[in-house]
A = this chain, B = another copy of it.
Amino acid sequence: MAKKNAFYAQSGGVTAVINASACGVIETANKHKDVIGKVYAGRNGIIGALTEDLIDTSKESAEAIAALRHTPSGAFGSCRYKLKSLEANKREYARLIEVFKAHNIGYFFYNGGGDSADTCFKISQLSETLGYPIQAIHVPKTVDNDLPITDCCPGFGSVAKYIAVSTLEASFDVKSMSKTSTKLFVIEVMGRHAGWIAAAGGLLVDHGIPVVILFPEVEFDQKKFLARVDENVKKFGYCTVVVSEGCHYPDGKFLAEQGTRDAFGHAQLGGAAPVVANMVKEALGYKFHWAVADYLQRAARHVASKTDVKQAYQLGKAAVELAVKGYNSVMPTIDRISDEPYKYKIGVADLKDVANVEKFMPKDFISKDGFGITAKCKRYLLPLIQGEDYPPYENGLPKYVTLKNIAVPKKLKGEFKI
């Protein structure tokens, strides 16, 4: 096998552990110097490849690369950019080949979710379609946990842990206040289509917290919901609601779009939590507090799941090992063997089976009333939030690394407009 350089890029929404996968890719590639030359990272994802804006990761110290393991966000920059089909935009593919050739790139590691798997799949076909020899491996990453085949996706376990921990703490708070003040706490979580993140709130039932979950998979029934909240407040003195941003009415309209208008009369974007809180106030009169975690949840490396961090690293490492073994058009996966004790192995999936397939919560993970999770779901979730993996702190704050991100000198003339 001739020695080739590797390209690595981060794609889509970043997570608390995507850099742990980057760490796994780079450290493992460095152990295979016989076949892999340098690891070039795309500045801002695939855009870095298209614009020949490559970062030379060999210019970073070993300590800096190791620190990626405990640093949230995308250290090389990410992007939301989906390659069109070969037919629709041959120009982009021709450009990628031009850049890959110029920098002797034979390995393509793409770290992302469903859309990114599609881009990675298209690139994995370049050998067949345009005759350029490349091995493209997808490294799974998404807080939404909606990639198929793999049992879970790096990034999800840490968000689930964050939501469970934060909602537990806030529920203790509202319980303390409920006698004379707040009786309802609403937290809005990510998940436009799949309720995996919201499901983490269901873990609190075992801690005595009365939680009502509003999933995107369950059509919102206002009457039933209000009755449940009222029942909890009457029984426990308070109620916690975890509402997914994707929660919607039977007609598909999101709760967050419920006609809220700002001072200029424009529809106000976002905010299922305030809508739900005000709805309860209107109907039942309970004083409320609400929170929208937004980026805080997916960036919360300070409370990451040790299991998640470990798996993120392992899948980055596995991606490189698959490449060394000659694989193309695949994605390493987490294959669960048992729930308790939690055992899994690293498997491999064909990218054609991954790209553009969205994995929703199974029906038997949501309780019959639609407001909670089943024992089966709990067995699925619990292993993923196990263990703490604290970042080092300096002067009161986490010591996250910012890389030098030194550009590889350009070899091509002219600019590529994206």
Contact = CB atoms under 8 A, between A and B. Distances in A.
Interface in A258-280: 258-264, 266, 268-271, 273-275, 278
8 contacts: A74-B177, A166-B302, A258-B262, A260-B262, A290-B294, A291-B295, A382-B396, A388-B393
A146 B317 CA distance: 51
A382 B177 CA distance: 30
A73 B173 contact: yes
Interface string A157-183: 000010011101110111111111100
Contacts of A6: none
Interface in A199-216: 203, 207-208
A89 interface: no
Interface of A: 10, 13-14, 16, 44-45, 47, 71-75, 77-81, 161, 164-166, 168-170, 172-181, 185, 187, 203, 207-208, 258-264, 266, 268-271, 273-275, 278, 282, 289-296, 298-303, 305, 382, 385-388, 390, 393, 395-398, 400, 402
B278 A268 contact: yes
A257 to B, nearest CB: 10
A174 B295 contact: yes
Contact of A264 (B173, B208, B282, B294): B282
A386 B166 CA distance: 21
Given A259-B263, A263-B258, A295-B185, A180 B290 contact: no
